[in-house]
Every structure is written in structure tokens, then in C-alpha cells.
Amino acid sequence: MKNDIVAQFLLGFFIALANAIINLAVNGQINWLWVGTTFLISFALIFTYQGTGVGKKFYSVWKIGKGELITSGGVEKDGVWEFDKSNIANDKGFYGPYIPLTAGKYRCVFRLKIDKSSREDKVVCELDVLLNQAKLAAFRSLSNRDFKHSDKWQDVSIDFNLYNDENRVEFRFRVKNIVEANRRISFDKVTVYKRLV
């Protein structure tokens, strides 16, 4: 995943422009309406750039079964992996892909679904981002209540920052209380985005 130099330049340019316009508005040289207009135009241009063919979409997707993510249980059904009490033990799941990432801000999105959601607040899985098999960059635990609907895909995101370039970044999923919760959790993919802000 490479840096998008053009997007970073545009972001820096529009931040500088917004600062200049705020300074002019504070000194009474222009109307405050210009401040709001500048922010709206700045964000619209950057998000349009990122979302069209003009700007590169800086994200990567990983799935189990392509040699990228390694599973310690579960079964594959129709291209997705299912984890329940019949095919996995507690603290097992998947991990990988041990990729290098440059310093910056990231969002990791796990696409998951549960067979039965409930109001019960029992932890059913944990998600994290690990650096060099030692340093935890982000962590999130999910209970039955975190899944809003039964048998519908849900994107669960974790934001993390890298202050240095990292050589071995992995994304991990572990089941918890799978027997007690009597649930089946399905996993589709992990997507990692480089964030501008």
C-alpha cells in the first residue's frame, strides 16, 4: 500500500487555504461565509478525488483460503468462513497476512455476521491489529449486542495509527465463549484503508 502524494498535497493545500481565509475573516477583511464555503469545497474535492478513477483507491482486501490469512479452525462455505462450536475452540480464529505498511493512519474493516443476535452482552469474538507479532496497535471485542441484525453482513472497523514504517502487520480474529454463546460467526474479508484524516 503506497502513499498517495497527490491527495496529501491537496489536503495540505486546502488546510493552508482554510487557515488563510480564517485569518482574513478574523481580521474582518472577508465574510465568515467564505470560511464555511472553503471547508465544504475542500472536503468535497478530496473525497471526490479519492472516490473516482482520478485518485487511486488505497486499500487492500484479504480473505481466508488464498494463502493470505491463516485459520486455526472454522469451515469454508460458499467462499466465506464459518466459526461455531462444532469447528473451533475458544481463542482460535485467523491471523495474517504479515504485510508491510508505511507510517500513517489506517482503518481496518472486518466483514462479519452472526447467526443470531441478542440483547445478551456476552463477548463472542475479539479483533485486533498486531505489529511484528508483539505490539498491539488496535483492539476491539464484540458481544452479541454489537451485531444489530441476525444473518446480515456487518462491517466492523478499527482505526489505528502507525508512527513508523512496520514490516509485519497482521489482522487477527479470535472467537470467545463460542460454546456458551451458542452462536455461529461468519467471516468474509478484511479490508485496510489508508486514511487522509
Count of alpha carbons within 13 angstroms of residue 30, beta-carbon side? 14
Q: ∠171-70-184 over CA atoms, to 5°? A: 80
Give CA–CA dist 136/27, Å, rounded.
Answer: 47
pLDDT category, 47, cuts 50, 70, 90?
A: low
CB 99 within 8 A of CB 169: yes
pTM comes to: 0.71
CB within 8 Å of 36: residues ≥ 6 apart: none
Q: Where are the domains of the chain?
A: 5-51, 59-195
pLDDT digits (tens, 9 = 90+) for 73-114: 888 888 889 998 887 878 888 999 999 998 888 999 999 999
**Whether the predicted pLDDT of 70 surpasses 90:** no
User: Which architecture characterizes domain 59-195 according to CATH?
Assistant: Sandwich (2.60)
Residue 167, SS3 per DSSP = strand
